[in-house]
Every structure is written in structure tokens, then in C-alpha cells.
Amino acid sequence: MRPEWPTIALIVSCYGLWAAAGFWLWPHWPLAALAVMAVMAALHSSLTHECLHGHPTRSRRLNEALVTIPLSLIYPYRRYKALHLAHHNDERLTDPFEDPESYYRARWQLARAPGWFRALLGANNTLIGRMVLGPLLGAAGFLVAEARLLGQGAPGVRLGWALHLAGLAPVLAALWAFGIPLWVYLLAVVWPSLSLIAIRTFAEHRWHETPDGRTIVVERSPLAWLFLNNNLHIVHHRHPAAPWYALPRLYAERPEYWHDLNGGYVYRNYWQLFRAHALRMKEPVAHPALHLEPPPPAGPTA
């Protein structure tokens, strides 16, 4: 496989524009600088997703190195890679326990939660709620789970975090050099960047009896470049080795096939999705088919 130069160019441009915004824009137009940095941090998240799927080179280590400086600060590359590749088991998509990216909860699990938490999860299943609350809930849940794994000494977790902390050092040094306070960066760059990505992830999957019926197509959007065409998500799940710039062609060659394959789970654009679900839950919080009853208590051990 030859190096995928469009992806490499995009990675260089992403870091370059982020740095230029901090160095040149921040002293004179701070709001514009933060807006550019937030968009670049969101693009970096999409590029990280691209690299963990084996792009843009044949070298896993080089692919990791290309995006190892984490502009959105929170998620270590190796931990995200492990969880996301587990998510690509389409037979288990949306399973609250086996799909690490599922937003469903087991019905019995939800019934045991306090009312305020159920209300919070319900709000998070609206698009505006996902954009506002999703970054906080997602980060909190991820960090709690990671702390538990670190305490258990789970394989690969400590190394993943050690590499992440090393990658954080140049970001924090750059923010110090730019004169951008960390709290400003967290509120005005990290949170908005994760909110932008939440537009894509909000409806990527739903429960359906067939695995292919669980993954969305959003046909057109000005945000497609930011999401690296993962709005055509069923195409990505069927062809995870295809680079981002090949997805539109694969979809355009036979759109009827993709519509039939995913059971018509198709939106024209994200505006249609917003109008339908800005303040209305798209899915129930409780999974409609799996884990309806609590597991039986474990028997005595020998």
C-alpha cells in the first residue's frame, strides 16, 4: 500500500492551522483563534479515527505517531483504538455491555439508577443534549472506566496512558507559549470540538435485528469534510480499510444497495436530523431488545 498523501497532507494542515491560530490569531482575535482551534481539534479526532484503521501508511507505529499529539486532550490513542476496534464487531453493535460505543443501557440497569440520572441520559439522547452534555458524560464515563482498569492492571492500559501523557506535553507547552489558559482551552476548544464530533456520533447506530440495519447514512453535509466522510457510516463499517476520500465514490456507485442494506436508515443531511431530534429523543435509553432482565446471580464457586 502506498502512503495516502491526501491524509498526510490533512494531518500536517490540521496541526499547522491549530498552531497558526494560537501563535498569530490569539493575540489579536482570540475568539477567532479559539474557533479555528476547536475545528482543528475536531478534525484531529476524525484523523485519529482514520489512523487507527490502518491509514495512511502500512506502519502502525508511524500512523500512531502522526496523530499522537492529542489536540482534544482527553482520549489516549491506544485506548481509543482498542475500544473502537471492539465496536467494529457489527454482530454486537449497540449491545450495552459488548459495544464500547453504545449509548443504550440495559433496562434492568436503568431501572436501578436514580431518577435524576435517568433524566440526564434521556436529555443526552436528544441532539442538543448530546452536543451539550455528551462531551461531559462521555469523558466522565471514560475516565472512571479507565481508572478502574488502571487499578486492575489491565494489559496495555498503563502504556496507553503513558504515551498519551507524553503526547500531551507539547500541547500544554504550546498553550503556555501562546498564552492561552488551560481552563479557557478546555471550555472553548475541547468542549466545542467534542460537541462537533457528537453531531456525527449521535445517530451513527440504532438497534435493528440485522447488523447492517444498525448503521446510518447521512447523504450530504457541509460537515462531511470534518467527519472525513463518516456520515456515510455504513460504507465505512463495510469497508473499514477504505480511506476517507474513497467513501463517497463507494456510496455513489450504488446508493440503492446501501439503502437496502441498512434498512432505509438514511437522512438527507444533518439538518433533517436536527429538525427531528433537536429536543426529542431519537432512541430510548433502555435497549429495546437486549438485556431486558438482570443476569441470574452467580452460583457458588467450587
As given in the structure block, the three cell numbers for residue 3 are 502512503
pLDDT value of position 300 = 59
pLDDT value of position 1 = 65
Count of the separate structural domains present in the chain? 1
> Tens digits of per-residue pLDDT, 150-170?
999 999 999 999 999 999 999
Calpha distance 121→125 (Å, rounded): 6
Structural domain includes residue 246: no
| Structure letter (DSSP) for residue 3 | -
**Three-state DSSP state, 228:** coil
As given in the structure block, the three cell numbers for residue 124 are 443526552
**Three-state DSSP state, 269:** coil
pLDDT value of position 2 = 85
Structural domain includes residue 301: no
Structural domain includes residue 219: no
Indicate the pairing of strand 217-218 with strand 266-267. Answer: parallel
As given in the structure block, the three cell numbers for residue 224 are 462531511
Cβ distance 181 to 30 under 8 Å?
Answer: no
As given in the structure block, the three cell numbers for residue 20 are 497558526
This prediction's pTM: 0.95
**Domain range for 24:** 5-203
Structural domain includes residue 212: no
Structural domain includes residue 94: yes
As a whole number, mean pLDDT of residues 75-92 equals 96
Percent of the chain clearing pLDDT 70 (strictly above): 98
As a whole number, mean pLDDT of residues 176-205 equals 98
Structural domain includes residue 92: yes
Cβ distance 283 to 136 under 8 Å?
Answer: no
Instruction: Tell me the C-alpha to C-alpha distance, in Å, between residue 231 and each of 1, 35, 199, 223, 266.
Output: 25, 22, 10, 9, 10
Calpha distance 275→220 (Å, rounded): 16
Structural domain includes residue 229: no
As given in the structure block, the three cell numbers for residue 109 are 440497569
Structural domain includes residue 209: no
Cβ distance 234 to 212 under 8 Å?
Answer: yes
- Beta carbons within 10 angstroms of residue 62's beta carbon: 12
**Strand ranges in the chain using DSSP code E only, listed in sequence order:** 217-218, 266-267
Model confidence at 271: pLDDT above 90: yes
As a whole number, mean pLDDT of residues 37-43 equals 98
Calpha distance 64→264 (Å, rounded): 35
As given in the structure block, the three cell numbers for residue 202 are 449521535
As a whole number, mean pLDDT of residues 54-78 equals 97
* Position 188, amino acid: A
**Strand ranges in 161-229 using DSSP code E only, listed in sequence order:** 217-218
Model confidence at 5: pLDDT above 80: yes
